[in-house]
Amino acid sequence: MSNQMNDDELNALKHAKAPAPSEAARRRALDAAMLAFDAEQASRKAPQGNPLAQRLRSILANAKRTWTMDNRLTYGLGTAAVALLLLPLGYQLYTSTAITPVSVPPVVPVATTADKPVAQPEPAPVEVGRVDALKQEAAGNAAVTAEAPVSTTSADEDAADLAVLQPEGEADLQLRDEFAPPASLQSQAVAPAAPMAEMRQMAASPKLMAAPNQAAGAIQESFAMAPAPAAVDATIAKPTDPSGNEFTRFTESPVKIVKTEPVSTFSIDVDTAAYAYVRRALTEGWVPEPDAVRLEELINYFHYSYPAPTDATTPFKPTISIYPAPWNAKTQIMQIGIKGYVPPVSEDKPSNLVFLIDTSGSMDEPDKLPLLKRAFALLVDQLGANDTISIVAYAGSAGVVLEPTKASEKAKIIGALENLAAGGSTAGAEGIELAYRLAEQNKVADGINRVILATDGDFNVGIDDPEELKTFIKSKRDDGVFLSVLGFGQGNLGDDTMQALAQNGNGNASYIDSFKEAQKVLVEDAGGTLETIAKDVKIQVEFNPAVVSEYRLIGYETRALNREDFNNDKVDAGEIGAGTTVTALYEITPVGSGAELNDPLRYEAGGTAAAPSVAATPTTGEEIGFLKLRYKLPEGDTSTLVEQPITRGLAVDELSRADDDSRFAAAVAAFGQKLKGSNYGEMSWDDIRTLAQGARGTDENGYRAEFMQLIDMAKVLVPEPVGTTTR
């Protein structure tokens, strides 16, 4: 048989299609070559002696081993030092690159056969923080596969094995794709996942290593992925106050039925702390807590042009107006305004003031002790030779900082203030008792005797028990020494304690958030802050059920009194300072207006089962209600009664006919109700702004213009709710 091929066979072979290369054959050939090479090397004999080059390399190797052993200790110490230096950087990287675990599909290698793809199991949740570990595991598996011994497999099986032996870039792409969220979740992701190659580049880049915070932030952002919620809520979350400030909790005053509860009784409130706190919150970009928004303090922050009495024996005069509610044309606002007596400029009452100042460590912030010093310096500048000032510090600088000193010695007083420093000493723990002791020792007859407590919320003033502290302050107010409280800063502001102490001390509570507010409280309103012209002031309104079916008092929830408390002179109430204005608003529902929130009773007098009565009394009457006020003079123990009917003639039928003060007060009430999420008085931010803008009046100090800015800030932080209804 001939081994030579004829021409036909050669031509057929020439035009035949070459078979695909076999990876198995390549591996077997490579293994055979390596085995032949190893056998040839094993058959050689080792050379005798050492050639010159080998001898020199041996000497160098021995020297290297000796040098390494001699310097091992030095290397160890150097390495430890470098580790200590890099420890803060490592900690920073560790804390700044925290990755929130989210559920993503696991790595599942895609194995295929010649016929069809292999079915994959259901994906299980894998923490993003395990990405590196899984990548290393995949790389390890690839390495094992590459080093595995050759087996006799088919070409198709070999091709399937090669599915995991991809180039590095393709492996990164596969890992990235497999860790990507499903399409349904990608729209909810904060940022898309970065490729692994980019992460390695970030870790190896000298620039990124020089700026660890940027690198950590980039890595964290690339993996920050939102979990899949059941339903996407389009409502913008309100940024709320993150601090530890404390406020008195209360429930909003409800709508009351005149036939069952015709009488409303409450104590006046002249504090303005809530408005200053709300202003700071909105200015800094967060929404104040609902309990921090006390509507009466927002309304009373502004001055209103009520007529003032001309005689100190009648310390105030009430002013009443009635106009349509801006948020509901079927209801009305009844506004009660009080203006305190303004002493003439020639009247210079002596004052005995004791500054009780918190100098604890927490006061060491720009908006606390430094601002406090500047605020008191403003007050000192307003005082004269008839006035005396003492300074007591607690929880920091010890005891009496300044003995009673005439206010004319301003340099001495300012110097004592400037020497105050926040620290950790507790030698002034008896601060409150020491302050009252100084006030009593230097008490002036027919003058102003007052302790002014300034703090950021640390009331470690020497009496730990709150009830005992209140009792102590009550006893001192009965002796003619009153208390005012100034709050500074935030984070541990004890507003609830401030309010309680000021109420029990026959004083007022203010929040100083800026130098401008310090000027308002201690300069512009110094008379109202320091001099009390009437104490225990109570208001009681009786509504006529023939004219009014429902009412609600806007604000004053923390000042509510029982009906019988009005005539009980032992029950404490609020104080009015010189020139102070106080405003109270009621929303009232006229009988037959159709705005009633309560259904008529089925078995009311005059009604039947088929047709319940709408009103049990005739719908006629000139009086809408009857106003009563009680007050005591600063040195008195017996109250005086003031009475005034509230008639229909005080009402206007259009909101535009109400004066500027009335419309502005209504706008402030609507603003506060919307900001705190009230159940009543719903208006849009634009409507509130339009109402306030049209009622700014002269606005000499610019406070109403500032209020317009707060409306704009609130509009951004508290978006209009969807599907709201009006009262």
In a domain, 125, yes or no: yes
Q: What is the DSSP letter of 521?
A: I
Q: Does the pLDDT of residue 264 top 70, yes or no?
A: yes
Per-residue model confidence as pLDDT tens digits over 412-466:
999 999 999 987 654 445 788 899 999 999 999 989 999 999 998 877 777 777 7
For residue range 47-87, what is the model confidence (pLDDT) as tens digits? 444 444 444 444 444 444 444 444 444 545 555 555 566 66
Q: Are residues 481 and 590 in the same domain?
A: no
**Residue 471 domain-assigned?**
yes
355 and 335 within one domain: no
Residue 612 belongs to a domain? no
- Kindly give the residue spans of alpha helices, DSSP state H, lying in 525-637: 526-530
Q: Are residues 459 and 542 in the same domain?
A: no
20 part of a folded domain:
no
Let me know whether 173 and 322 are in one domain: no
Residue that terminates a domain, selected from 604, 633, 656 = 656
Q: Which helix (DSSP H) or strand (DSSP E) does residue 176 occupy?
A: helix 168-179
Q: Minimum mean pLDDT among 115-129, 246-260, 264-278, 309-323: which range?
A: 115-129
* Structural domain contains residue 233: no
How many distinct structural domains can be found in the chain?
Answer: 3
Among 85-94, 132-141, 518-527, 714-723, the minimum mean pLDDT is found in: 132-141
Please enumerate in sequence order all residues whose Cβ is within 8 A of that of 341, keeping only pairs 6 or more positions apart, or say none: 308, 309, 311, 312, 314, 315, 316, 533, 578, 579
Radius of gyration of the chain (CA): 41
Domain membership flag for residue 260: no
Whether 220 shows a pLDDT value over 70: the answer reads no
Domain boundary (502, 530, 558) is at: 530
Q: Tell me if 608 is assigned to some domain.
A: no
Looking at the fold, whether 506 and 368 belong to one and the same domain comes out as yes
What pTM, to 2 d.p., does this model score? 0.66
Whole-number pLDDT of residue 182 = 43
CB distance 208 to 215 below 8 Å? yes
Shared domain for 132 and 214, answered yes or no, is: yes
For residue 47, the SS3 value is coil
Q: What does the pLDDT look like over 457-491, one tens digit per residue?
A: 877 777 777 788 888 999 999 899 999 999 999 88
Clarify whether residues 486 and 551 are in a common domain: no
- CATH code at position 516: 3.40.50.410
Question: Does the residue 290 lie in any domain?
Answer: no
Gap between the Cα atoms of 561 and 267, Å rounded: 7
509 and 637 belong to one structural domain: no
Tens digits of residue pLDDT in 155-193? 444 444 444 444 444 444 343 444 344 443 343 443 444
pLDDT greater than 50 at residue 599: yes
Q: What is the CATH number of the domain that holds 578?
A: 2.60.40.1230
Distance CA 618, CA 615 (A): 7
φ, ψ dihedrals at 560, nearest 5°: -65, 145
Each residue's pLDDT tens digit, 335-379:
999 999 988 876 788 999 999 999 988 899 999 999 999 999 999
- Are 561 and 266 in contact by the 8 Å Cβ rule? The answer is yes
- Work out the burial of residue 626: count CB atoms within 10 Å of its CB; fewer than 13 is exposed, 13-18 middle, 19 or more buried: middle
pLDDT at residue 622, rounded to an integer: 87
Closest to 296 measured CA to CA, from 317, 274, 280 = 274
Read off the pLDDT band of 135 (50, 70, 90).
Answer: very low
Tell me, what's the pLDDT at 3?
55
Q: Are residues 409 and 502 in the same domain?
A: yes
Write the CB contacts of 617 (distance below 8 Å, at least 6 apart in sequence). Answer: 545, 546
Task: Name the domain boundary from 509, 530, 551.
Answer: 530
H or E stretch including 632?
A: strand 623-632
Q: Are residues 326 and 369 in the same domain?
A: no
Average pLDDT over residues 526-550: 94
**Are 335 and 382 members of one domain?**
no
Cα gap 536→568, rounded to integer Å: 10
Q: What is the pLDDT of residue 151?
A: 44
Give me the domain span that covers residue 490: 351-530
Between 616 and 348, where is the model more confident? 348
Does residue 392 sit in the same domain as residue 471?
yes
